[in-house]
């Protein structure tokens, strides 16, 4: 019967083509070491290679090779490879009454990563889209959305607006927590990197943050864009109009929105991030928009920080999308494993504490009881750690039997 069951499991594993072969191999090996007579003869000896096992999964490519091959395909082709993934548009109201529009890539996992775009961008940016696909390939759900005033979301675009975008992120996270999801990480690119760091400094409900090419000092880069006398222009004219390549007005910078950026202190915010929150900063060595030195500053002040420099990558990771996606996926998976391990330890510790309490209470009750009751009658011994419910039930029966 047992041999039949193992054979059935082997056949099912072969049909599905999953990576369970090594686990079956280990199971058979453990049985062989036990020298049971009912084990199939061909598994008595452990002197055979893995390629002799018909149910063993073939060698897999490295994560980065797989990611590179996936990102070389079109989004439609990649989607065809993952028919079980559900993609749906989700609208989340923010605290200001505006509707934030996002796209949920639901793999069926409880865990979800929130992806935040950068300045004057959207959830459809190449970087954010490819990261969503990479996480999807690992079985991890993600949600990418447009901040208010960007993309499909309601509201008016405003320069600066860092804290308000952190508020938008808070609304999104609260929405998914209310839907019984576990936020296993938040990621932001460029300005979005600053937003996720600001969020982590204000709230302690996130265990993993990925800052992709965020700016450390928000006072830098303004003069290069608007000129050295930008503040004088704002005070005299009240605003600065920024034109696109065609000469049309792209957006307007007001004095209020400029002060919002100048008064946002990323350095102080990073000092407030909990040591229990793991932060990964990724930056391209050839970033022409935000210098790589900013990434080095983050690594100096954030308590639990990991720095990854992508050699030759520009601000948009134009030729390094696969490498970026691989780094992010590996970090998120590592964070998930650490969270599960920590959760398991807390659960075991809590259970043992309750059982220890039950043992002590039961022991005390037995010592103070009359000779009408013994440990045998309770069905326990003093050193046995009982579940609280078991102890309460048996003590209840004893009391009413007096």
pLDDT of residue 28: 34
State both tokens at 311.
């050699």
Q: Which residue has the higher pLDDT, 45 or 87?
A: 87
The 3-class SS string of 220-253 reads CCHHHHHCCCHHHHHHHHCEEEEECCCCCEEEEE
Backbone angles phi, psi at 252, to 5 degrees: -125, 135
| pLDDT higher than threshold 50 for residue 151 | yes
| pLDDT higher than threshold 90 for residue 81 | no
pLDDT of residue 94: 97
User: pLDDT, tens digit, for every residue of 189-243?
Assistant: 999 999 999 999 999 999 999 999 999 999 999 998 898 999 999 999 999 999 8
Q: Over the chain, what is the mean pLDDT? A: 77
User: pLDDT, tens digit, for every residue of 290-315?
Assistant: 999 999 999 999 999 999 999 999 99
User: pLDDT, tens digit, for every residue of 335-360?
Assistant: 999 888 877 665 555 555 545 555 54
In order, the DSSP letters of 93-110 are E-TTSPEEEEEEEE-S-S
| pLDDT higher than threshold 60 for residue 69 | no
**Fold classified for 63-343:** Rossmann fold (3.40.50)
| C-alpha to C-alpha distance for 368 and 398, rounded to whole angstroms | 13
pLDDT of residue 91: 98
């Amino acid at each position: 019967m047992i041999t039949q069951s193992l054979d059935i499991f082997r056949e099912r594993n072969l049909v599905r083509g999953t990576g369970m072969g090594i686990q079956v191999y280990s199971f058979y090996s453990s049985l062989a070491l036990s020298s049971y007579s009912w084990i199939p003869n061909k598994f008595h000896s452990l002197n055979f290679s893995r390629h002799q096992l018909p149910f063993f999964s073939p060698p897999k490519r490295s994560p980065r090779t797989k990611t590179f091959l996936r990102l070389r395909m079109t989004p439609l082709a990649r989607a065809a490879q993952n028919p079980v993934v559900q993609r749906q548009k989700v609208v989340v109201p923010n605290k200001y009454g505006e509707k934030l529009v996002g796209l949920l890539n639901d793999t069926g996992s409880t865990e979800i990563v929130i992806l935040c775009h950068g300045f004057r961008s959207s959830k459809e940016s190449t970087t954010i889209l490819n990261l969503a696909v990479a996480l999807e390939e690992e079985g991890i759900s993600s949600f990418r959305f447009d901040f208010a005033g960007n993309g499909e979301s309601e509201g008016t675009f405003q320069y600066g607006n860092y804290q308000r975008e952190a508020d938008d992120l808070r609304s999104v996270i609260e929405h998914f927590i209310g839907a019984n999801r576990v936020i296993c990480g938040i990621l932001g690119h460029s300005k979005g990197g600053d937003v996720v760091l600001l969020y982590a400094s204000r709230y302690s409900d996130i265990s993993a943050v990925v800052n992709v090419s965020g700016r450390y000092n928000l006072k830098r880069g303004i003069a290069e864009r608007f000129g050295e006398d930008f503040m004088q222009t704002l005070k005299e004219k009240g605003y600065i109009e920024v034109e696109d390549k065609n000469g049309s007005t792209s957006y307007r910078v007001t004095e209020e929105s400029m002060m919002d950026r100048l008064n946002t202190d990323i350095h102080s915010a990073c000092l407030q991030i909990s040591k229990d929150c793991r932060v990964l900063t990724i930056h391209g060595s050839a970033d022409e928009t935000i210098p790589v030195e900013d990434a080095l500053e983050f690594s100096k002040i954030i308590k639990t920080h990991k720095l990854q420099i992508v050699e030759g990558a520009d601000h948009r990771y134009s030729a390094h999308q696969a490498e970026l996606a691989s780094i992010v996926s590996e970090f998120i998976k590592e964070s998930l494993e650490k969270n599960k391990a920590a959760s398991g330890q807390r659960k075991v510790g809590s259970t043992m504490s309750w059982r220890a309490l039950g043992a002590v209470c039961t022991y005390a009750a037995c010592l103070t009881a009359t000779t009408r009751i013994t440990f045998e009658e309770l069905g326990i011994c003093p050193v046995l750690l009982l579940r609280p419910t078991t102890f309460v039930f048996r003590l209840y029966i004893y009391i009413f039997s007096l």
